[in-house]
Structure 1
Amino acid sequence: MVKCASGGLPRFVENPELRVPDFRYVVDYIQTLPYVDAERIGVLGVCGGGGYAFNATMTDYRLKCCVGITAVNFGRLVRESFGGFDPVGSLEKMDKQRTLESQGADRFVSPYLPPTVEEAKKMTSDPDLIEATEYYKTSRGQKPCGATSGLFSFNSAAVAWDAFNYAEVIMTRPFIAVVGDIPGGFGAYRDGHEIYGRAASKEKELLVLPGVSHYQLYDEPKAVQAALEKVLPFLKKHLGEAK
């Protein structure tokens, strides 16, 4: 039996108001470790984790720099494609569902992806959705406790959240945003350009890799290598060399 999840209910909650503080708790902890230099702590996030990483860097200056790999602003995603581009209607439905659940109804867990690649290709031509299904629903990226669903009634916090809120004022740390130039429905290409354009950081870089899609930056060797050729020197510059 594989035990790889925490206890408690409800499950499948994707709440940025809980996710971003987790970064701060990690910094709290690792600074207590004797082999960690508190002046050499940075953060790297991928996909939704990249959006969270940018937001954490904006609000916790103990993080000296940030790397966003095909970073996605989860709040925008929930307001737009995940919510049918109808955030007000989504909130109304979430409220009704949460009321039902608080009074004993079964929780409604929304599947973010089709069950198979074949089903995904029947539904859409969008590269992000097809490649996400290929990654998360096959042995390529599927894990015993990996979740590709979300508790619908608890998404209301995400609707009102924005990873880049006040970036023009408080995003001051150096960063590099890495995206592929094949745009998809999850919006990393757009979000990379947005944080680059809005951030107040004096040292910032947007790396756009030609012929690369969102999920190729997860584990496709050529795409990952191209990203690392820029990311590793960036990290060495801002965090120093390991002793």
Structure 2
Amino acid sequence: MPHAGARRISASTQTRSHGMQSITFRSGPFTLAGNLHLPSDFSGNRPYAAVVVVHPGGGVKEQTSGLYAAKLALDGFVALAYDASYQGDSSGEPRHLEDPSARVEDIRAAVDHLTTLPFVQRERIGVLGICAGGGYAIHAAMTDSRLKAVGAVSAVNIGAMIRQGWDGSTAPAQTLGLRDAGSARRTAEHGGEAITYMPLAPTHRDPSLPADLRDAYDYYHTARAQHRNSPSKTPLRSLSQLVGYDAFHLAELLMTQPLRLFAGSKAGSLWHSQQVFERAASGNKQLHIVEGANHIDLYDGSRYVSEVLAKLVPFFREQL
């Protein structure tokens, strides 16, 4: 039998806000494609709080980030979900590159764009990230005080995941091999070889995998949430940028904004949320454990998403 909360919110039939505008904005040399979700009572003459919503590694705006953006718009927020540099409908080569510095800059650029909108109040902008997007959201907030409140769902510090594995048990010595593999691919591809890709989600449903990873295959590679722009892979050369990255670096000093973390009790990634909760300097921080949920359940599990929103929406209303 499906476990409790197994009913999914379809990526193709997301609950939508009153209106959604397809937009573009600049992030350094890149043009980013976004969906701006508007509240049902939207009026260009009224001021609104806004939330930047950041997708997982390998994801796109039409998946879980778009779902959360649409839900937030239904609760009165302007919400911007967008494709990261190199990914989705946004520009950048090589395609699907996962570059942490670009990912964090994309969030700052999204804030830049929101500050130009006459109906967004500049002092009422927050950020919500899912999976690696949660780590990037936290990192961006540490270096951009325009973000007044931070939410993270199934947060992952993607650099730590690369170094330590999904459950945090990978031996440090293996990290050096990953570094060397990324370096070698840069040389090979600069010399004319074809790009080599590595998967960000499993490419087949292996029963021996943890439930998180079996669900990751289902999410990205079946009708559950697959999208033509989301093959859930990245150039192997991305390892050069990922292996030394720490999304939570200096959290003890710089993560000062109000922070709400949400993670499943059965998630192999729970340790990321626990770690940043302990490290964050914020005097207003909470980690909400969603009982019975794994990592991917918080992407689209109807009951689980509702539980997150029941805590997240009042938080953003109070802080924004």
TM-score (structure 1 length as normaliser): 0.90
Structure richer in strand, relative to its length: 2
Q: Partners in 2 of 1:221 and 1:167 — Cα distance?
A: 32
Equivalent position of 2:120 in the other structure: 36
Equivalent position of 1:209 in the other structure: 290
Whose RCO is larger (CA < 8 A, sep 6+)?
1
In structure 2, the residue corresponding to 1:222 is in which secondary structure? helix
Q: Deviations over 1:58-98 (max 9, x none)?
A: 11000000000111111111112279641111111221221
Q: Partners in 2 of 1:7 and 1:227 — Cα distance?
A: 32
1:9 deviates by 2.5
Equivalent position of 1:104 in the other structure: 192
Q: Partners in 1 of 2:157 and 2:91 — Cα distance?
A: 27
- The two structures, once aligned, show a CA RMSD in angstroms of 1.8
TM-score (structure 2 length as normaliser): 0.69
2:181, 2:239 within 8 Å by CA — same for their partners in 1? no
Equivalent position of 1:229 in the other structure: 310
Q: Partners in 1 of 2:91 and 2:260 — Cα distance?
A: 36
1:8 deviates by 4.7
Equivalent position of 2:84 in the other structure: none
In structure 2, the residue corresponding to 1:225 is in which secondary structure? helix
In structure 2, the residue corresponding to 1:68 is in which secondary structure? strand
With 76-85 and 142-151 compared, the bigger mean Cα shift is at 76-85
1:13, 1:155 within 8 Å by CA — same for their partners in 2? no
1:206 deviates by 0.5
- Mapping for residues 11-30 of structure 1, pairs under 5 Å: 11-30=95-114
In structure 2, the residue corresponding to 1:56 is in which secondary structure? helix
C-alpha distance 34-147 of structure 1, shift in aligned 2 (>3 A): same
Q: Deviations over 1:112-139 (max 9, x none)?
A: 333333xx22xx2311110100111111
Equivalent position of 1:62 in the other structure: 146
- Structure 2, unpaired ranges of 5+: 1-32, 34-87
- Structure 1, unpaired ranges of 5+: none
Amino acid of the residue matched to residue 183 of structure 2?
D
Equivalent position of 2:301 in the other structure: 220
In structure 2, the residue corresponding to 1:205 is in which secondary structure? strand
Amino acid of the residue matched to residue 238 of structure 1?
Q
- Paired residues, number: 230
Q: Work out the percentage of aligned pairs sharing the same amino acid.
A: 37
Q: Partners in 1 of 2:273 and 2:184 — Cα distance?
A: 34
